[in-house]
Amino acid sequence: MPELPEAETIARQLHAVLADRYLGRVVHVRSDMVYGDMRPIQKTLPGLRVKLAYRRAKRVILELSNGRTGGPMAELVFALGMTGRLTVCDTAEPIEKHTHLRVAVAGEKRELRFRDPRRFGGIWINQATEPRSVEAAKKVRTATARERRMSGTKHERQMREPRSGEAAGGKQLPDRILSPLGPEPLELTAGGFRRVIRRKRQIKALLLDQTAIAGLGNIYCDEALHAAGVHPLTKADVLSQEQAGRLLRVIKTTLRRAIRFNGSTLMDYRSADGEPGSFQNQHRVYNREGQPCRTCRRPIERIQAAGRSTWLCPTCQPQIWVP
């Protein structure tokens, strides 16, 4: 399942190849994967210019502007779900099954494709609510500046609201919600993180909660908890200030390292150029049951935490029991 590093990798690559390009004809779209603006996407996208691509949590977003006036028009939001894949490829390349959106790049023999075999992801079209300068847009490749500007704005609230409506032909679409998002882990301060974890919840469950901290998933939670020496079943509110500070530091370090390796490919994930990530070769616990811990050599164990398979080292991550 694509998490923050995978979404960041895709967004950076899309920005490199699509910024200042115009979108052409929508070659194919599965309408029941599109939400937000209910106007036909075939009429909405052609002629718009990609101003920038960026990431918010696990989502990849294209900011689109009017090709003639340069004013803001819309944002195309891709929720990758479990198996979502965004690529830019030659139009002559074979079309994989479960490709739900194909948009031509105007004047080029390339197109943007969105594929999602399990269809837990989706595509949202949101109207832009405020203009962005070109200079500011060019600084948003890592999204951090924009995330600060977006925090609490009308745009952010709009992305949180349920979306439903009618597709072409009057077919009623089911409600699909872009869920509320917490702060970005790469932007969290020590004080902000301590406020987040002042809850009587298992620390892994809390880290996976996108309304608490946005962007973390199963892989990077397990890797960060191991690096911090924190057992996944530990209650968040019993962590000391030192433990909390260490956990935040290793969350950031783990995510940044994973971004440098273009994310982790275990099954479906590919970057925007179709290549797999390589951070899976650096995993210290995730999916390594029975293999020796890279720190103490004790075999890695797998348990259930927050309803998910969870990998840990029982020596490096002793559980803290609280009466």
pLDDT digits (tens, 9 = 90+) for 182-227: 999 999 999 999 999 999 999 999 999 999 999 999 999 999 999 9
Residue-wise pLDDT for 274-294, tens only, equals: 899 999 999 999 999 999 999
Which residues form the catalytic set?
A: 2-3, 58, 308
State the pairing for strand pair 59-66/72-79: antiparallel
In this prediction, residue 179 carries a pLDDT of 82
Residue 155's pLDDT band (boundaries 50, 70, 90)?
A: very low
Mean of pLDDT values over 253-269: 95
Residue 312's pLDDT band (boundaries 50, 70, 90)?
A: very high
Residue 47 has phi, psi (to 5 degrees) of 95, -10
DSSP class per residue in 285-308: STT-TTSBPTTT-PBPEEEEETTE
Residue 13's pLDDT band (boundaries 50, 70, 90)?
A: very high
Whether 133 has a pLDDT exceeding 70, the answer reads no
Residue 126 has phi, psi (to 5 degrees) of -115, 140
**Residue of 33, 27, 15 whose CA lies nearest to 95:** 27
pLDDT-above-70 percentage for the chain: 82
Mean of pLDDT values over 36-61: 92
